[in-house]
Structure 1
Amino acid sequence: MSVAEPRRIVLFRHAKADWPEVADHERPLAERGRRDAPVAGRKLVDSGIAFDLALCSTAARTRETWKLAVQEFPQRPRTVYEERVYEASPGELIAVLNEVPDDAQNVVLIGHNPGVHGLADVLAGEAEGDAQTRMNRRGFPTSAFAVLTYSGSWKALEPGTATLVDYWAPSE
């Protein structure tokens, strides 16, 4: 694969979490989250993107979201559970993406707000259609995802170098 071919980055926020008396990192999904995660998985499949790699936060709610969403996929991508995605800032998430091997063309990152929404804003130097308007209007609710395209090496990914091409959020 040539690094000139467009790569796709999907930034996927975990599904709705419950608030039991456990540490934040161990919070499970709420019933709504268990319903929304497979719906988001089907929407990801409908996007037509064949993922080479999934980078998932180690938090219980992100792992559970990914487990439910990926069941909708015809083929499960290689998944790396990355503790640095938990509570990460946009800059820290860019650093994680900078380490992706260049043979991975399409990556989904399953993480948390405000980092995931902030990263979508920071990376998107441009936007197609009304994707930016929809994302700004809805914010980045649970189970939402943004699709960005990027041309270049993962090591060169930096603010403003990607294009926001799609955004999806479940209806409430």
Structure 2
Amino acid sequence: MLLRHAKSERETADDLKRGLEKRGEKDSVRMGRYLREDAYLPDLVLCSPSTRTRETLKRVLAELGSAPPVQYPS
């Protein structure tokens, strides 16, 4: 499965530091709930080093209740 980051802030000079908008925060929580309710628990997560992807992942994993190993490839 490939999960893209939730709705992020408008583009800035430093793309890696863009965080999530309020909508993105809510949507990522909803996605975590959806995955939990559908009993989808990944064996491994690969996450970009960008702020928006880490913020998305943090909220998704909080809803899953079980955290798989996470790798942050550079």
Length-normalised TM-score, structure 1? 0.41
1:52 aligns with 2:52: no
The alpha-carbon deviation at position 71 of structure 1 amounts to 0.1
Residues 90-135 of structure 1 show CA distances to partners (whole Å, capped at 9, x for unaligned) of xxxxxxxxxxxxxxxxxxxxxxxxxxxxxxxxxxxxxxxxxxxxxx
Question: What amino acid sits opposite 1:46 in the alignment?
Answer: E
Alignment RMSD? 1.3
Tell me, yes or no, if structure 1 residue 63 matches structure 2 residue 44: no
Instruction: Give the alignment's TM-score, normalised by structure 2.
Output: 0.89
Query: Match of 2:15?
Result: 24
Higher helix share: 2
Aligned-partner SS, 1:11:
coil
Specify every segment of 5 or more residues in structure 1 that has no aligned partner in the other structure, as ranges.
Answer: 1-9, 84-172
Which ranges of 4 or more aligned residues in structure 1 deviate by more than 4 Å?
none
Q: Distance in 2 between matches of 1:74 and 1:60?
A: 22
**In the aligned structure 2, how far is the partner of 1:68 from the partner of 1:41?**
7
Q: Distance in 1 between matches of 2:51 and 2:9?
A: 11
1:42 aligns with 33
Greater share of strand: 1
Please give the alpha-carbon distance, in whole angstroms, between the structure 2 residues aligned to 1:57 and 1:27: 12
1:127-138 alignment to 2 at 5 Å?
none
Question: What letter matches 1:35 in structure 2?
Answer: K
Q: How many residues were matched structurally?
A: 74
Please identify the structure whose Cα radius of gyration is greater.
1
Distance 1:67 1:73 in 2: 10
Aligned positions of 1:58-137 closer than 5 A: 58-83=49-74
Contact 2:28–2:59 (8 Å) recurs in 1: yes
Query: Structure 2: which 5+ residue stretches go unaligned?
Result: none
Name which structure has the greater RCO, CA cutoff 8 Å, separation 6+.
2
Give the letter for the 2:72 counterpart: Y
